[in-house]
Amino acid sequence: MTNGNGLRNQAVCLTVAAETGISAKEKSVSLLAYLLILALTAYLYTIIAAVIINWLVVLQVMNLRNPIAFKIHAVLRRLTEPSFKAVQKILPPVGGFDLSPIVLIIGITVLQRMLYGLM
């Protein structure tokens, strides 16, 4: 029964695409662009969270001796450190200030805008 519904949904999608002048290929590209935008948005929020957590640790507002805080910090660091390191190879810290999160946020935002153009 699921196969019948799936085929019917595909037929409806193709009919709608034909009526609106949008090909199935364009719909696929649009869906892929949308999924990439969602993934980039999630990573953008991860970068922002990592920066905030690092500030809280440096300003001694948050203590890493707390097991929950330590786990959150470790997870965010594992998720963001590879991309930070890649940017730092090209643009090293200036005066002790790490610009890699700013560069990544700008890069992700530009990439998202380009993907919005595909939709």
- DSSP assignments along 63-115, one per residue: -TTSHHHHHHHHHHHHHHHHHHHHHHHHS--BTTB--HHHHHHHHHHHHHHHH
Asked if residue 25 has pLDDT above 70, the reply is: yes
Residue range 44-98, pLDDT digits in tens: 999 999 999 999 999 999 999 999 999 999 999 999 999 999 999 999 999 889 9
Tell me the CB-side half-sphere exposure of residue 7, using CA atoms within 13 A.
4
**Confidence band, pLDDT 50/70/90 cuts, at residue 15:** low
Both structure tokens of 92: 């090293």
Burial class (CB in 10 A: 0-12, 13-18, 19+), 72: middle
Residue 14 CB contacts under 8 Å (≥ 6 apart), including other chains? 24
Considering the entire predicted model, what is its pTM? Answer: 0.75
Look at 36 and 96; give whichever has higher pLDDT: 36
